[in-house]
């Protein structure tokens, strides 16, 4: 690369430091995570890899340093992975992350958070790892909101849920979004059950929400934990889907459909 202006820009990025808790700190190696320089350097360095894959006639898809190469059999996959590892390590002098690199069926692998079904004409779906990461982030918000009104927790969750659903707008398998809707409503019902604390209070709140007295007291004194009760029929009846919509809770499925209806 001989473009002096681009080289100067890269050097400025590398020496600019990072902002941590409002204070600029110097760094001695690497690039800050999420910085625009990382994909730029990846594309500059891995351009030779792209040309090598094209020369070999492979079908592949690469985004920054995340690359999938598609071949017809497991044996071919093993050979290609071994040869590409040698190419990257000897020709480009890069270190291959062997923990994240593997040969597998397309539907058992993921790319940029997506995976696909095993059908002859595969459909895009959200990878299980992406769902687990989202649930972890939701748990963090919910854990902080146990002492707050559910409406406030819903407000705090809104940017995360909207951004995540928009990112996965290309997914064609809807069941993931349906299951996330059910799981999140149960998490929020769990907050309510915990906040009601005592059995007498729980019975009172259930009756206020339309549960008859006998059922309310039986449910309030059943001895099961918050998560079990959050998924039980009495909480589903007392805190229905309509109530969550009134509180402003975004439906994963409805939002996904709205994104696709606009495209």
- CA 47 to chain CA centroid, Å, is 28
Sign for the CA dihedral angle at 249, 252, 257, 259 comes to positive
**Residue 93, SS3?**
coil
Least Cα distance to 66 among 86, 49, 82, 90 occurs for: 49
Q: Specify the pLDDT at position 160.
A: 94
Predicted confidence at residue 105, as pLDDT, reads 87
Confidence of residue 29 (pLDDT cuts 50, 70, 90): low
202 in Cβ contact with 194 (< 8 Å) = no
Average pLDDT over all residues of the chain: 88
Whether 62 has a pLDDT exceeding 70, the answer reads yes
Mean per-residue pLDDT, 126-145: 91
Token pair 């259930």 is found at 206
| Predicted model pTM | 0.80
pLDDT, tens digit, 9 for 90 and up, residues 136-187:
999 999 887 667 899 999 999 999 999 999 999 999 999 999 999 999 999 9
Joined tokens for residue 257:
């459909």
Q: Identify the three-state secondary structure at position 63.
A: strand
Q: Is the pLDDT of residue 235 over 60?
A: yes
């Amino acid at each position: 690369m001989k473009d002096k202006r681009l080289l100067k820009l890269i050097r400025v990025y590398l020496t600019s430091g990072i902002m941590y808790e409002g204070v600029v700190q110097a760094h001695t190696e690497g690039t800050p995570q999420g910085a625009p320089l990382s994909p730029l350097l990846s594309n500059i360095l891995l351009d030779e890899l792209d040309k090598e894959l094209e020369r070999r006639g492979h079908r592949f898809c690469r985004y920054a340093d995340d690359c999938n190469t598609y071949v017809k059999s497991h044996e071919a996959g093993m050979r290609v992975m071994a040869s590409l590892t040698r190419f990257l390590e000897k020709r480009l002098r890069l270190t291959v992350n062997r923990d994240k690199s593997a040969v597998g069926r397309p539907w058992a692998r993921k790319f940029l958070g997506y995976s696909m079904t095993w059908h002859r004409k595969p459909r895009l779906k959200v990878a299980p790892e992406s769902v687990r990461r989202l649930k972890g982030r939701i748990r963090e918000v919910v854990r902080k909101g146990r002492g707050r009104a559910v409406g406030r927790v819903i407000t705090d969750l809104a940017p995360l849920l909207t951004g995540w659903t928009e990112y996965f707008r290309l997914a064609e398998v809807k069941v993931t979004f349906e299951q996330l809707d059910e799981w999140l409503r149960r998490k929020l019902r769990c907050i309510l059950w915990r906040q009601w604390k005592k059995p007498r209070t729980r019975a009172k709140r259930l009756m206020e929400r339309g549960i008859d007295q006998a059922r309310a007291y039986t449910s309030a004194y059943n001895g099961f934990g918050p998560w079990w009760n959050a998924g039980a029929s009495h909480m589903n009846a007392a805190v229905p889907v309509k109530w969550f919509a009134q509180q402003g809770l975004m439906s994963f499925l409805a939002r996904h459909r709205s994104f696709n209806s606009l495209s």
